[in-house]
Amino acid sequence: MAEVSKIPHAVSKDGVHTTGTEIADIKEPILTWNAGKFSSNWKITYSNYLTDYGFEYGEEYDKPAKSIATRLNNIVKKIKEEKELTKVNDATLVECYAFYPEAEEIINKLKGKL
């Protein structure tokens, strides 16, 4: 699994994507939330603007994106089962929010519904 600190980009809370010192507007969300699940965004994997997100090849995006989506989905499952989140889960969320900040709002809404 790729460490979030090694992912060559960040997305700020205001939706601005940064790659090194360059700033570009977000064209697609880093992850998608559909039918109660997170997933990597295939539109980024196969896009012409992949480098705007700090990746040279689709695989460079896809591997960490799928890993983050899986980790988030495991936490979503735990929340839906009304299980308490552990310190490890909380640390995972911090890493995942660094990759996809919009996940924080989704997770908080799920927590609030239960």
What Cα–Cα distance (Å) separates residue 110 from each residue in 44, 82, 92, 105? Answer: 26, 10, 16, 9
Segments of the chain with pLDDT less than 50: 1-8, 10, 12-17, 19-24
Residue ranges per domain, the chain? 4-113
How many other CB atoms sit within 10 Å of the CB of residue 43? 12
pLDDT of 28 reads: 84
Say if residues 54 and 8 touch (Cβ distance below 8 Å): yes
The secondary structure of 6-32 as a DSSP string is GSS-EE-TTSEEEETTEEEE-SS-SEE
pLDDT of 114 reads: 53
pLDDT of 107 reads: 94
Which residue reads 């996940």 in tokens?
A: 103
Residue 108 token pair: 């908080």
